[in-house]
């Protein structure tokens, strides 16, 4: 079983308490990003534990300790799942998740300096694809050319090659890890969901059988969410936009169902009549129709993910 060292001198996110890492076979956090960080920290620590046996030369102790400290700091943030106002603030602003993510990627970069050449070379094709993706002119990008030259070489990596790889990885990380747009989009979806839920709840209290239509619309929203789940945007990184999309569809379904029935009852929509037996059907139809409205949000999410 793996033992993750603590890093008392390393910074952690505001409000997080450093705790001794646990060492289960596979760690699972209280949320998706926590699970990802915990599992990657566990894997990197496992690589560090066997590094001296795999490396041709003994890794410099100072670099190994730096990598362990970074990984342990990420682990400590992800493991702290206690709830408080500070925790809520960190979740909303992304402070905890982005700090943990940064520690984890920094630890990975440090390991590139001394990991066995075979381990580093295995990561180069993926790193090349990433640097090409963020480059404005891949055909004339010196970093792309440098990575291709290293990929074409054979044998152990030189110190200069390792420095180049580390620099490219850092450049890619800073380009990819600007999650502010994804975080803002997720937060806006949550705000819209909360607003719709509150508005629909108030209407349900004053409308006849409003709660019933609310439930029917929410179920319709859940149905469209289940059918469209695979097409929702799954962004790489720590922020789960697809979950926010799903919650918005459920709230929009509930609100659309209730508003639709109220509109039919008011006579604004001519040619339609409503009674106790047909109202449920109208609620279901209007609840399903939210897909046409939330499709605008889905398209915006796809643009955000580069789809």
> What's the pLDDT tens digit per position in 116-128?
888 899 999 999 9
Per-residue confidence (pLDDT) for residue 236, from 0 to 100: 58
Give the confidence band of 78 by pLDDT, cuts at 50, 70, 90.
confident
Stated as kind and residue range, the H or E segment containing 268 is none
Please tell me the pTM assigned to this model. 0.56
Report whether 58 contacts 115 (CB < 8 A).
Answer: no
The CA-based angle 242-177-92, given to 5 degrees, is 55
Instruction: Work out the number of other CB atoms within 10 angstroms of the CB of residue 87.
Output: 18
pLDDT at position 267 over 70: yes
Q: Whole-angstrom Cα distance, residue 35 to residue 21?
A: 13
**What percent of the chain lies above the pLDDT cut of 70?**
80
Per-residue confidence (pLDDT) for residue 4, from 0 to 100: 35
Closest C-alpha among 211, 229, 223, 222 to residue 280: 211
Pick the more confident residue, 275 or 260.
Answer: 260
pLDDT at position 137 over 50: yes
pLDDT in tens, 159-214: 899 999 999 998 888 776 666 777 788 888 999 999 999 999 998 988 888 899 99
Residues constituting the chain: 307
pLDDT at position 13 over 60: no
Pick the more confident residue, 147 or 305.
Answer: 147
List helix spans (H) across the chain. 32-54, 61-79, 85-93, 95-112, 117-134, 142-152, 159-176, 180-206, 210-228, 241-266, 276-304
Per-residue confidence (pLDDT) for residue 264, from 0 to 100: 87
Per-residue confidence (pLDDT) for residue 69, from 0 to 100: 94
Q: What are the distances in angstroms from CA 240 to CA 13, 151, 256, 270? A: 19, 34, 25, 42
Give the confidence band of 62 by pLDDT, cuts at 50, 70, 90.
confident
Per-residue confidence (pLDDT) for residue 306, from 0 to 100: 60
List helix spans (H) across 207-240. 210-228
- Could you say which DSSP state residue 237 is in? S
pLDDT at position 6 over 60: no
Per-residue confidence (pLDDT) for residue 53, from 0 to 100: 64
For 269-287, what is the mean pLDDT? 80
Give the confidence band of 239 by pLDDT, cuts at 50, 70, 90.
low
**What percent of the chain lies above the pLDDT cut of 90?**
32
Report whether 289 contacts 219 (CB < 8 A).
Answer: no
Give the confidence band of 54 by pLDDT, cuts at 50, 70, 90.
low
pLDDT averaged over every residue in the chain:
80
Q: Whole-angstrom Cα distance, residue 226 to residue 102?
A: 33
Is residue 126 packed enough to be buried (19+ CB in 10 Å), middle (13-18) or exposed (0-12)? exposed
Q: Whole-angstrom Cα distance, residue 242 to residue 189?
A: 10
Q: Whole-angstrom Cα distance, residue 62 to residue 46?
A: 18
């Amino acid at each position: 079983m793996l033992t993750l060292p603590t890093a008392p001198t390393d910074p952690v996110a505001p409000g997080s308490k450093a705790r001794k890492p646990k060492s289960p076979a596979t760690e699972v956090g209280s949320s998706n990003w926590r699970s990802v960080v915990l599992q990657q920290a566990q894997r990197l620590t496992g690589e560090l534990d066997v590094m001296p046996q795999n490396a041709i030369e003994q890794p410099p102790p100072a670099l190994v300790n730096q990598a362990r400290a970074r990984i342990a700091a990420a682990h400590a943030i992800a493991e702290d799942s206690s709830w408080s106002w500070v925790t809520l603030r960190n979740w909303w602003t992304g402070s905890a998740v982005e700090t943990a993510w940064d520690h984890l990627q920094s630890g990975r970069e440090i390991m590139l300096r001394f990991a066995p050449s075979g381990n580093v070379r295995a990561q180069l094709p993926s790193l090349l694809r990433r640097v090409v993706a963020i480059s404005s002119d891949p055909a004339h990008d010196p970093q792309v050319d440098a990575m291709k030259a290293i990929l074409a070489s054979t044998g152990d990596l030189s110190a200069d090659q390792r420095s180049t790889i580390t620099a490219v990885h850092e450049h890619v990380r800073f380009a990819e890890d600007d999650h502010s747009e994804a975080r803002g989009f997720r937060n806006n979806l949550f705000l819209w969901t909360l607003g719709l839920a509150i508005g629909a709840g108030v209407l349900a209290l004053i409308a006849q059988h409003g709660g019933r239509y609310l439930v029917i619309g929410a179920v319709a929203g859940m149905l469209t969410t289940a059918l469209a789940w695979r097409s929702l945007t799954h962004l790489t990184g720590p922020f789960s936009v697809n979950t926010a999309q799903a919650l918005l569809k459920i709230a929009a379904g509930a609100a659309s169902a209730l508003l639709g029935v109220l509109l039919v009852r008011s006579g604004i929509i001519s040619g339609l009549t409503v009674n106790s037996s047909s109202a449920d059907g109208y609620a279901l139809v209007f609840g399903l129709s939210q897909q046409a409205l939330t499709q605008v949000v889905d398209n915006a999410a796809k643009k955000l993910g580069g789809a």
